Chain A
Amino acid sequence: MSSTSQHLLLSPAELAYLHGSLSLITPGPIRPDGRSPTQFRPLTAETGILPGTNGSARICFADGTEAVVGVKAEVEKTPVSPYEFVASTEGRKDHTVTSTPQKKIRKSKKAPAATEGGEDEIAMEVDEDEEAAAAAALDKVRGSPDWVELSVEIPGLRDDDSGTIFLTSMLTEALLADGEFVKKLWINRRFHWKIYLDIILISPPLSYPLPLLSLTTHLALLATRLPRLKSEADEDPMFDDDWAAATFLYPRQDTSSGKAASSKSSKQTSTAAAAPPASRPPITLLVMAVGDNIIFDPSKEELAVADSAVAVSVAEGPSSESEPESESISATTTKRNLHLLSVRTIDPPSRLTPPGVPNSVNASAWGTMTAATAASAAAPASASASEAAAKHPDARVTETEDVVGVWKAPRGGAKFAMLGAMVAKVLERGGVAEEVLDGLEGVDLG
């Protein structure tokens, strides 16, 4: 059982009422907690709460769910594959490609007959080869998905529960999708950082925890600092042991670089390192559709009547041109360069809700009685099979069509246009993703 499908004790009548009020069109959806369709639950956030980590964050939603994320980094040796040499030279200009095999053949020919004196010469050649490869590899920073390990812990669920694994792979996928994050972990050709992201939901999962976990991870990564590298090139890495000199994993822009940055820093409480970073880690938002309405950040009750639910991950790249349109408008008008990283549909728990029974087929509401008497009066001598069908003329209707005010678990999927609209609504300028990023920008990163 995934964590979405944990049973919520709502009766079919309550579900029908919720669904009806959420799919209203004229005044817009009416949500149980009075939010607007794009409004997030209020949250409190802080960073740097765990002293033993490279970066940490805690977010507490107003409904009482709370998550803590700790980021730990370790230096790890990059296993150098012999194929890497071929691959790194292959991408270069043609003359190097042609020259390398010759050198190699020479080396392999000499190797069996190598005497003590000849060995130095070979070693020299190998060094030369390696230097060329190093030069080629140096200008190409590479990353591997193995350098990130993400774990999610949700109380009451096992580690290998499919719901937990789904959350883990969704958050990992968002981090790795564009391949930019792992490039930040590259130290030199021989070493890299290995990042362990440990996400712990402290409270019981009162609602689907995806947005909470994603926002907490985002903040923790923003606050993550790595010791400053002192060594050069391919040496064994040496680090500055002054923590104050540590650099942020997502480096900040210079405060003096532009107007936008300065106006933002004045808005924020802290003055040092207040400018927002050039690029930022991804966030994953939960969007659901009820009828024709698109609703953000659904609570558990709302998710129980969703027609479809989608998790959308977006990230902000380096903003190309950030110029405020006018000074009077606040800094939120700066252009954000959002791009889509991943989209996944989520199995809405509404498919597991108990259906209601319409009065017309409900024996206790005298529904079937009237139908049966009418049928028997009309066709008294019909065959038993057709009689059974004629007994419940409404049964077929209730099976296939919706009866107003009677809850029925949704069948089928979402329309193509609806899915597209949900994703577009996340990405649109001035949309929810920007709003959330703006909100998180105000958090003091210490």
Chain B
Amino acid sequence: MADRRRINGPVGATTPPIFDKPAAPAAAKTRDAIRKIFLKTGITPSASGSAYLELENPNPKRPGNTSLKLSCTVHGPRALPRSAPFSPHIILTTHVKYAPFATRQRRGYLRDSSERDLGVHLETALRGAIIADRWPKSGVDIIVTVVEGDQDRDSPESQKDDEGWDMMNVLSGCITVASAAIADAGIDCVDTVAGGVAALVCKDDKTAPTIVMDPIVAEHGSILAACCVAYLPTRDEITNMWFKGRLPGADMMVYDKLMEKSLVACRCANRVIVQELNETVRKGQGIS
């Protein structure tokens, strides 16, 4: 006998209604620049250095559309515990953690492998920039929290991006924000390090793939290859590079072009860092 008093849910799993035509993704603007970056240092008073970064939302009118929001804190340099072995250099520890609500899939409180992987990339990018031998026997913790990942929540399940292209965007944001936070903490660096992404995208099978800077994963039909670079603009050096994907043909032309484009993106991001740091210095002078 079925329970008539309550309105029971259906037996077994259900799926939300399928609308035949998902709302057309916003037409990818052919922009030859990266998205606008909002960067502010000194937002966490308890940390020795901190910064917050937000990317411009490409189409703010649509519901559920998000952009990248990162917050970074730097603790240190501080003395290592007595039990630690001697180190002639500063010991750099990087943590990248997604907030549980940052992505479409909920993230647990323990760091999963992709977060640890991002942490290693970030460490490589920063270690080249920090002048490590000025602080023997000390350590510094750099913690980046991804408040909102760079994912489009409108897109239906079928367009779910499992390949993790958005990780590249997150990494480049992490590098930029961590660089600003380190400068805010007053740790000596050879240069500010900025992150940038370029991707080889393909609208559909017919058109030839093009290279774009700072790709918005949801806007492009498919991403064939992407490249994330951490760059020291003044020294013209690359501290970290991460390329993945499949390039048509064995020639290096496309690869080199991708790298060049991501360096342009890095330079754009660096301008934002420099401007924000200038502002911070000016403010500091005004108070004292």
Contact = CB atoms under 8 A, between A and B. Distances in A.
B251 to A, nearest CB: 9
Contacts of A416: 236, 238, 259, 263
A176 B20 CA distance: 31
Interface string B181-200: 00000000011000000000
B241 A345 contact: yes
Nearest to A414: B238
A354 B157 contact: no
A83 B156 contact: yes
A413 B232 contact: yes
B64 interface: no
B114 interface: yes
Interface string B1-33: 000000000000001001010000000000000
A82 interface: yes
Nearest to B163: A145
A338 B250 contact: yes
B208 interface: no
A344 B114 CA distance: 15
A160 interface: yes
B129 interface: yes
Interface string B78-112: 00000000011100000000000000000000000
Contact of A347 (B15, B123, B157): B123
Contacts of A344: 121, 241-243
Contact of B18 (A86, A173, A340, A414): A86
Contact of B119 (A144, A162, A310): A162
Nearest to B193: A413
Interface string A163-199: 1011011000100111100000000000000000000
B15 A2 contact: no
B171 to A, nearest CB: 11
Interface residues of A, number: 53
A406 interface: no
A343 interface: yes
A95 interface: no
Contact of B128 (A86, A146, A162, A411): A411
B18 A82 contact: yes
A169 to B, nearest CB: 4
Interface string B223-239: 00000001110011111
B55 interface: no
B154 interface: no
B286 interface: no
Contacts of A179: 246
Contact of A414 (B157, B237, B242): B237
Interface residues of B, number: 52
Contacts of B281: none
B158 A83 contact: yes
Interface stretch (A117-125, A252-260, A294-302, A417-425): A417-425
A41 B247 CA distance: 30
Contacts of A87: 158-159
Contacts of B249: 339
A26 B162 CA distance: 49
Contacts of A176: 163
Contacts of B232: 412-413
B129 A355 contact: no
A419 B110 CA distance: 35
Interface in A125-168: 144-146, 160, 162-163, 165-166, 168
A267 interface: no
B116 A160 contact: yes
Contacts of A83: 18, 156-158
A165 to B, nearest CB: 5
Contacts of A165: 113, 116-117, 120
A339 B247 contact: yes
Nearest to B85: A7
B287 interface: no
Given A351-B89, A412-B237, A416-B259, A341 B244 contact: yes
A346 interface: yes
A420 B259 contact: yes
B48 interface: no
B38 to A, nearest CB: 27
B163 A178 contact: no
A47 interface: no
Nearest to B164: A145
Contact of B246 (A339, A343, A351, A414): A339
Given A342-B243, A345-B124, A347-B127, A427 B238 contact: no
Given A337-B250, A340-B255, A409-B133, A104 B20 contact: yes
A396 interface: no
A352 B114 CA distance: 25
B113 A169 contact: yes
10 contacts: A86-B20, A179-B246, A344-B243, A354-B88, A355-B133, A411-B128, A413-B238, A415-B238, A419-B238, A423-B255
Interface of B: 15, 18, 20, 87-89, 113-114, 116-117, 119-121, 123-124, 127-129, 131-133, 156-159, 162-163, 190-191, 230-232, 235-247, 249-250, 252, 255-256, 259, 263
Q: Which 3 pairs across A and B sit closest by C-beta, in order of nearness?
A: A413-B239, A87-B158, A413-B237
Given A339-B246, A351-B132, A413-B230, 10 more contacts: A86-B156, A169-B114, A177-B244, A179-B246, A343-B242, A344-B121, A411-B131, A412-B129, A412-B191, A423-B252
